Amino acid sequence: MHVKRIGVLTSGGDAPGMNACVRAVVRTALYHNIECYGIRRGWNGLISGDIIRLDERSVGHIIDRGGTILYTARSKEFMTEEGQRKAVSTCKFLGLDSIVAIGGDGTFRGALALSKYGINVVGIPGTIDNDISCTNYCIGFDTAANTAIECIDKLRDTMQSHERCSVVEVMGRNAGYLAMYVGLAVGATAVLVPEEEIDFDRDVIEKIRQARLNGFTHYMIVVAEGAGSAAQIAAQIKEAIDLDPRVTVLGHIQRGGSPTGRDRVNATKMGYLAVDLLVKGQKNCIVCTHDGMYSAIDIETGLNQKKSIQQMEVDVLAAMTGL
């Protein structure tokens, strides 16, 4: 069936590069003479019919903008059967053949639910957490990591001057990919992630002691929010040794800012591929990338996959921190 009209939405936590992706979806659709509509505020917009026509101009000069021009939300109503039925009615009423949904695993669970009513949905991974199992890379991760790295580099200056210990909390919800990557990039004394079992003495205190023995007088502890709070880790360090750590929670600053080149290009390729897949008749899939190659996987299969921290990252961290 020839695709005539598609809708695009962003859902869940925003991620830098979502705008670049929306732009790519719109431009590729228009290239194929497909009409494109922006659904605002995530799945909520599909329920309420909060929809705008998107043309070439409406996505001009957004490739460099953080956030999402379509707004985003985590829709509770869409998790109900009633909400899903309303969304299906909107699709039928407006003649939307297919939906492109940019977001994380919550977004894809919504996409899967919608697909059961016969609406074709293509998901594009966009989350700073990088925790979508079926893809190596999610839009927003690189920008968020670089933001965190820049902040921690600044922190290090003052920690070094005052010979202090810093405990920095990095986002990622239940996943430690962002914290591990950032920890390796800033040369952290220790990195705590939820995927690895934590022995506080071995993983924090011993690492600080080792650093001290090596002549260092300041220490940078990076903790993924899913592995514990920075405040709690700092209190534990204070109790265990004679240090008075300073706490920094990087928080939502990690989700903002102009996307890096890597995020812009990934977002553009993924947005292009999503529409290309629709044109070729592919149904209900998630766009993914591995080793620089792009492909698609069935939504349900993709959601059922498992992802873990690369063993190599764990080994490298051990070597870099001396334990």
Positions that interact with ligand F6P (CB under 6 A): 13, 104, 127-129, 171-173, 225, 255
CB of 227 to ligand F6P, least distance (A): 12
Q: Could you give the count of Cα atoms lying within 13 Å of 39 in the half-sphere of its Cβ?
A: 27
Smaller CB separation from ligand F6P, 62 or 73: 73
Residue placing its CB nearer to ligand F6P in the complex, 207 or 255: 255
Q: What is the DSSP string of 157-216?
A: HHHHHHT-EEEEEE--TT--HHHHHHHHHHT-SEEE-TTS---HIIIIIHHHHHHHHTT-
| Tokens standing for residue 58 | 């409406």
Please say which residue, 127 or 146, places its beta carbon nearer to ligand F6P: 127
Residue whose Cβ sits closest to ligand F6P: 13
Tokens read off for 26? 């719109």
**Phi-psi region at 252: left, alpha or beta (left = phi > 0; alpha = psi -120 to 50):** alpha
The Cα–Cα gap between 64 and 206 comes to 43
Q: How far is the CB of 159 from ligand F6P (least distance, A)?
A: 24
3-state secondary structure (DSSP) of residue 102 = strand
The one catalytic residue in 50, 97, 105, 129 is 129
Do 13 and 127 contact (CB within 8 A), yes or no? yes
Active site (annotated) includes residue 298: no
What is the nearest approach in angstroms of ligand F6P to the Cβ of residue 149? 16
Cα–Cα distance between 78 and 86 in angstroms, integer? Answer: 9
Compare residues 7 and 104 and give the one whose CB is closer to ligand F6P. Answer: 104
**Residues identified as active-site:** 129
